[in-house]
């Protein structure tokens, strides 16, 4: 799906260590990797939380003025420094001219969403007309399913992965109930093989091949929220469509994390939130995609005035002129304050480019994996056994920046010890800790510090 960089992360680390004549686990290697990182200055575009401001911090264990090690970008991205400025621009406009703000300025409120949607094109790989910024993620998922899930007596299933994010699971369950269907029969969940955590592509394709004729919609996540597995979006799309299914993706953990080419892959529909890797702040405005091939055939089930063509919208004659494609799915006028925070972040993506970010991300997460493996080898050599397992696939094509780690001691203890030392990450059932070094604002030094803290926590156990 993506071309691998010429040099694998582990090889790069070994080469630098040889050059510096040091151990690959030494801090010097991290500092050299940062020095060679052409994207490192993007960190300055963000507020990085300080140790002293974190609620669970133990001040006896840290330097209070140091930056925290923020590895929680998979859950809530950090704040771009320009957010406040952009919010103030719109607040000022509102204060000074009230309703005239709808039509003037950098982001006329009536087209607030449209004024920034172009910045989303490269991130998801779609044309402007195929993207709408609106609502929140689960709401968009519902709106899309209302149009794409059209069950018939023969084709009545929705296919999804096991342990899908609960909101998606509930959305699918309730969509099935809304059609008066039996959830047991219509919700087709693919589980990993016994004893495995990662779904194998061959198993997914096998089910599509065998049951495709009874599947109406395939809805997968792009990157699984728990395991961090990046699914093969083009392969699943192709297989599903060959069987006559609509194929959609929830890109919550994929957008701004991995390269996406929704248009070229022919994906039917997709949706995503913007507060994770896209740094728009909690509850930020979400996105939706419908492929151009459906522009005149797939219509919204629920319509509001912002789905009406702009040129005649304000004639208010109640004769609907529906915008073709996903923009006809917009129901209400856009929340301008949410547009502002997303705008600040998308401008940074535009400067950095998702391609370059992904290249750094492969190296950054590869470095994290490499350091963890060095630690495991040391434990094995000391006959104390490895204590860390990486649940996330090790193939670059099968993951984004997140690694999910499991331990041979209770994750709650490890997590709490890390929290006290200024590592911001999270724990998820059944046994994982999720850490996501984000290429926009995390450094190789962050990764090095994290692994040092993790190993000292594990060694003292």
Ligand X SMILES: *Cc1c(COP(=O)(O)O)cnc(C)c1O
Tokens 């597995």, residue located: 229
The answer to whether the CB of 251 falls within 8 A of the CB of 271 is yes
Is 327 annotated to bind a ligand? Reply is no
Q: Is 277 in the site for ligand X (CB under 6 A)?
A: no
Residue 268 found at the interface with ligand X (CB under 6 A): no
Q: List b or e across 431-449, with b for residues whose CB sees 16 or more CB atoms inside 10 angstroms.
A: bbbbbbbbbbbbbbbbbbb
Taking CB under 6 A as the binding criterion, the range among 19-27, 183-191, 248-256, 418-426 that sits at the site for ligand X is 248-256
From candidates 14, 28, 127, 167, binder to ligand X by CB under 6 A: 167
Q: Is 263 annotated as a binding residue?
A: no
- DSSP state, 198? S
The contact pattern for ligand X, residues 83-122, with x = CB under 6 A and - = no contact, is: ----------------------------------------
Cβ distance to ligand X smaller for residue 225 or 289: 225
Return all residues near 46 (Cβ < 8 A) that are at least 6 apart.
Answer: 78, 79, 80, 81, 279, 440, 441
SS3 for 335-384, per residue? CHHHHHHHHHHHHHHHHHCHHHHHHHHHHHHHHHHHHHHHHHHHHHHCCC
User: Is 221 assigned a ligand-binding role in the annotation?
Assistant: yes
Between 137 and 217, CB nearer to ligand X: 137
Long-range contacts of 49-58 (CB under 8 A, 24+ apart): 49/78, 49/424, 51/422, 54/419, 54/422, 54/424, 56/416, 56/419, 56/420, 57/419, 57/420, 57/421, 57/422, 58/420, 58/421
Can you give the length of the chain in residues? 461
The least CB distance from residue 152 to ligand X, in Å, is 27
- Shortest distance in whole angstroms from residue 200 CB to ligand X: 21
Residue 92 annotated as lining a ligand binding site: no
If binding is defined by CB under 6 A, does position 214 make contact with ligand X? no
DSSP structural state of residue 218: E
Q: Are strands 131-133 and 246-250 parallel, antiparallel or unpaired?
A: unpaired
Work out the widest C-alpha separation in the chain, in whole angstroms.
Answer: 79
Residues 6+ apart with CB under 8 A from 445: 27, 30, 31, 34
When the beta carbons of 57 and 164 are compared against ligand X, the nearer one is: 164
Q: Out of 113, 168, 197, 419, which residue is the one contacting ligand X (CB under 6 A)?
A: 168
Tell me how far, at minimum, the Cβ of 443 lies from ligand X, in Å.
25
Query: Residues 446, 69: contact at Cβ < 8 Å?
Result: yes
Considering only residues 217-236, where is the footprint of ligand X by CB under 6 A?
221, 225
Residue nearer to ligand X on the CB measure, 20 or 187: 187
161 lies in the site for ligand X, by CB under 6 A: no
Q: Does 197 bind ligand X (CB under 6 A)?
A: no
Task: Please tell me whether residue 81 adopts helix, strand or coil conformation.
Answer: coil
Give me the least distance between CB of 224 and ligand X, in Å please: 8
The distance of closest approach from Cβ of residue 168 to ligand X in the complex, given in angstroms and rounded to an integer, is 5
Q: How far is the CB of 276 from ligand X (least distance, A)?
A: 6
- Candidates 124, 137, 216, 236: give the one binding ligand X (CB under 6 A): 137
Instruction: By CB under 6 A, tell whether 269 contacts ligand X.
Output: no
272 binds ligand X per the rule CB under 6 A: no
Residue 416 to residue 52: CA distance in whole angstroms: 16
CA distance 256 to 122: 10
Nearest distance from C-beta of residue 192 to ligand X, angstroms:
17
Determine the size of the site formed for ligand X (CB under 6 A): 12
> Closest approach of Cβ 272 to ligand X, in Å?
9
| Binder of ligand X out of 253, 263, 294, 330 (CB under 6 A) | 253
Q: How far is the CB of 384 from ligand X (least distance, A)?
A: 36
CB nearer ligand X, residue 39 or residue 252: 252
- Identified binder of ligand X from the candidate list 46, 149, 156, 165, rule CB under 6 A: 165
Q: 367 to 396, contacts with ligand X by CB under 6 A?
A: none
- 360 within 8 A of 37, measured Cβ to Cβ: yes
Handedness of CA 278, 448, 225, 210 (dihedral sign): positive
> According to the binding rule CB under 6 A, does residue 252 interact with ligand X?
yes
| Distance in angstroms (rounded) separating the CA atoms of residues 118 and 122 | 8
Asked whether residue 137 is marked as a ligand-binding residue, the answer is yes
Nearer to ligand X, 136 or 207 (CB): 136
Question: According to the binding rule CB under 6 A, does residue 436 interact with ligand X?
Answer: no
Residues forming the site for ligand X (CB under 6 A):
136-138, 165, 167-168, 221, 225, 250, 252-253, 273
Q: Which residues are annotated as a binding site for pyridoxal 5'-phosphate?
A: 137-138, 221, 250, 253, 275, 305, 333
């Amino acid at each position: 799906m993506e071309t691998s960089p010429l040099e694998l992360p582990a090889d790069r680390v070994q080469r630098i260590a040889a050059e510096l004549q040091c151990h690959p686990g030494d801090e010097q290697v991290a500092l050299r990797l940062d020095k060679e990182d052409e994207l490192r200055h993007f960190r300055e575009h963000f507020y990085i939380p300080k140790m002293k401001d974190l609620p669970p911090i133990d001040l006896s264990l840290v330097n209070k003025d140091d930056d925290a090690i923020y590895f929680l970008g998979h859950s809530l991205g950090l704040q771009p420094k320009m957010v406040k400025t952009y919010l103030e621009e719109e607040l000022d406009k509102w204060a000074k001219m009230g309703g005239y703000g709808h039509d003037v300025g950098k982001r006329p409120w009536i087209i607030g969403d449209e004024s920034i949607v172009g910045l989303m094109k490269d991130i998801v790989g779609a044309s402007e007309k195929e993207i709408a910024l609106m609502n929140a993620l689960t709401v968009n998922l519902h709106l899309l399913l209302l149009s794409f899930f059209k069950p018939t007596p023969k084709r009545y299933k929705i296919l999804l992965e096991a342990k899908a994010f609960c909101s998606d699971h509930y959305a699918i369950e309730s969509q099935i109930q809304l059609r008066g269907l039996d959830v047991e029969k219509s919700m087709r969940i693919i589980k990993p093989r016994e004893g495995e955590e990662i779904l194998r592509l061959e198993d997914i394709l096998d089910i599509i091949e065998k049951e495709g004729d009874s599947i109406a919609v395939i809805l997968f996540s792009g990157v699984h929220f728990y395991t961090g597995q990046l699914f093969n979006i083009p392969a699943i799309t192709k297989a599903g469509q060959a069987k006559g299914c609509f194929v959609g993706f929830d890109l919550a953990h994929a957008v701004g994390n991995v390269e996406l080419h929704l248009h070229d892959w022919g994906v039917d529909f997709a949706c995503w939130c913007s507060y994770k890797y896209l740094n728009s702040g909690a509850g930020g405005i979400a996105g939706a995609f419908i492929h151009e091939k459906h522009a005149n055939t797939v219509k919204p089930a629920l319509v509001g005035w912002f789905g009406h063509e702009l040129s005649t919208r304000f004639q208010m004659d109640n004769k609907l002129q529906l915008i073709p494609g996903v923009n006809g799915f917009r129901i209400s006028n856009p929340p301008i304050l949410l547009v502002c925070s997303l705008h600040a972040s998308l401008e940074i993506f535009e400067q950095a480019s998702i391609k370059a970010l992904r290249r750094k991300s492969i190296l950054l997460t590869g470095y994290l994996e490499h350091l963890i493996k060095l630690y495991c080898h040391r434990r094995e050599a000391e006959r104390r056994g490895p204590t860390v397992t990486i649940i996330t696939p090790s193939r670059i094509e099968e993951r984004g920046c997140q690694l999910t780690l499991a331990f041979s001691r209770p994750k709650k203890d490890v997590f709490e010890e890390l929290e006290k030392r200024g590592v911001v990450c999270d724990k998820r059932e059944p046994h994982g800790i999720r850490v996501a070094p984000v290429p926009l604002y995390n450094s190789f030094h962050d990764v090095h510090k994290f692994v040092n803290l993790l190993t000292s926590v594990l060694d003292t156990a």
